[in-house]
Structures are given as structure tokens and as C-alpha cells.
Structure 1
């Protein structure tokens, strides 16, 4: 699952409008137009066929990890409002090298004000049974002894569960 696919599924699950997508990117300090958002939200050409050759396509913009993290930070600001940094705290958090799926779950948990029980319910709606300890391990900081990397299956099913919860 690539970053564009994550944005497509997230947009569907949370029913985010194109104009809101532009605003969320702006809140995350990334300037995009509505046309660029539409190009971001198209399936990548390599997801349709398994050819080895790279096809350059003007109708598709590939989202890198930094851009996805900026979008998720913008979504937190969009949902919860701008937070002033505390004294002695850096103004912007440093970009992390952790798994994209772990970052996705952490930032959605913050943006949607979810508890661990809410996250378990969302995964259960998608047909996945996970323990509270496993969720805790996924939400830990990379390098912690109990840290567990989140696989695509869990991230995909979490987004599917969000769609069930928010869209019915």
C-alpha cells in the first residue's frame, strides 16, 4: 500500500472534500492546488499492471513520506485547532523515520481523539481482532523494547474500519 493509496482510502473513510484536502495540506505547510489534489488522489499507474518499466504520467503525483506526514499533521490541526508550542519545546516536530503505517495510526488517533478501545472497535468493525497490548506496541516510539511495526494489513483494515464507522 503506497502513500497515495493511504490518502485515497483516508479521504473516502473520513469523507474529506477536495477543498478541505487543499486546506489540510496548507495547514501541514504543503502548498497544493485542487488540480494537484485530484492528481494525488488517482491510482498510480504501477498499481494497475505489474510491468517493471516506470511510466511517467502527468495525471499522477506520487506522495512521499514527508508529504504524507505533513498532511496528517495538517489534519490534526484541521480537527483540533492550532496548538501553541510550550516553552522549551521546538516549534515543529522533527521528521521521523518510523514506519508510515505506525505514523498513520498515531496521527489519526490524535486527530480523531481516539482511545485505544476506540481503535480496537474500529479494527473489529473491519473483522480484525487485536489485543490492547498489540495496539500499545504499535503506538510506541520506535526503539522502545515493546515497539512493533504495523503491517499494511492492519493499516488497510484500520482505514476500512474507519469507513464503516464514519460512513455507515
Structure 2
């Protein structure tokens, strides 16, 4: 994420006024002005926005840690010249004294879920076999979860959830049965001697046996 975007989001989440921002952005050697703060907090599409360097963001986050947890004894660690999402995530975790379960709960507030094992990969040292780069989406969801907790009155209602109802399958109408065509019945063979059927050509009827008795002869 861009340093200006992170600064703008953290300021909004904790509702820091200009005096608090000046204190967090100033070092022992240099004190920033209200005009500088205003230019850093301008939107990305504003031509008057001044880019915030990684070292300036590191100073802000280190001072934020001290304001939350108190100053550490000994010399201050040197400011990082390059700051990535993993380091920003770690500094926010330290400042707010968060355990892994707390971070997962904050991510859940933004409707983002991940396992404890996946989360631990973001806080390992680069070069470790389980180290994983923290993408903008992860850090953005973490900051959004903090906003839900600390500024719930400033959360815009989400219109992304759309209720859908499953369509009931339409009942199929019983199809009308078509009348089956009757097969022509096979003609029965005519019995011999029937007068209704003409005999085939060349056919001769068999003579009936003579039934006269001997007395008639």
C-alpha cells in the first residue's frame, strides 16, 4: 500500500487531530508543520498531495508504538529506508499489543478469514522458508477491521450482499398420449369350400365323398 494511504487510514481509525499528528510525525531533530500534515493527508487524485517517504511512515509508526507502549530504554533503532506491508503490519501489531487471535478477530470484522498458520507467515523474517509477502488486500482488510472496531459509526452500509432465492423446478405437465395406430390384422385364411372367396386360378375343389347309402342305388 502507498505510505500516504496508510497514514490517512490510521489517522482516521484513531481520530487523531492535527496536534497528535504533528507529535507522531516529528522527531527529536525535526518538527513538522500543520501544512506538511495536510499535504500528506490529501487524496491521491489531489495534485497538491506530497508523497510520504517510507522513512517518514516508519517514524510515524515508531512514535505510535511509543505513544501506546511507552519509550524503550536505550538508543532508538534506525529508521527503515524501505518499508513493506509486512513491516507495517508488524508495527501495528506491536503498537496495539495484539496476539494472533486478536489479529484474526480484526480480519473477521472485515469479513476476511485466514488460519493462524497463514497469519504467522507474514511476521517471519525474509528468507525464512515459511515467509510470505503481505499483499495490499491483507493489510487493507486489517485496517478496515480496525475501523469497524474503533469507528463503527463511520462504516458505510454494504450493498454487496444480495439475497438470492433458488427457483423451484417447474412441474412438468403430463403429456397427452397419442392414440396408437392399430396395426392391420392379418387376414385369416379362408376355409376350403367357402363361397365367399374365389379360388386361385387353376384350383379345383375337392369332391365331397358320396354319402348315399346302398339302398338308394
**The TM-score by the shorter chain falls in which range?**
0.7 to 0.9
CA–CA distance in 2 between the matches of 1:128 and 1:28? 39
Within 5 A, what are the aligned runs for 1:16-165?
16-27=16-27, 31-45=31-45, 57=47, 59-85=48-74, 91-96=75-80, 100-165=84-149
Of 126, 147, 151, which residue of structure 2 is paired with 1:167? 151
Contact kept, 8 Å, 1:66 with 1:95, in 2: the verdict is: yes
CA–CA distance in 2 between the matches of 1:125 and 1:97? 32
The normalised TM-score by structure 1 is 0.82
Contact kept, 8 Å, 1:99 with 1:150, in 2: the verdict is: no
Contact kept, 8 Å, 2:54 with 2:80, in 1: the verdict is: no
| Residue ranges of structure 1 left out of the alignment (5+ in a row) | 49-56, 86-90
1:30/1:136 CA distance change after superposition, 3 Å: farther
Could you list the per-position Cα deviations for residues 62-121 of structure 1 after superposition, in whole angstroms to 9, with x for gaps in the alignment? 111111111100110111111112xxxxx2324447752111110011111111111000
Structure showing the higher helix proportion among its residues: 1
Shift of 1:166: 1.1
Structure of greater Rg: 2
Aligned pairs, how many?
152
CA–CA distance in 2 between the matches of 1:98 and 1:129? 29
| Residue ranges of structure 2 left out of the alignment (5+ in a row) | 153-217
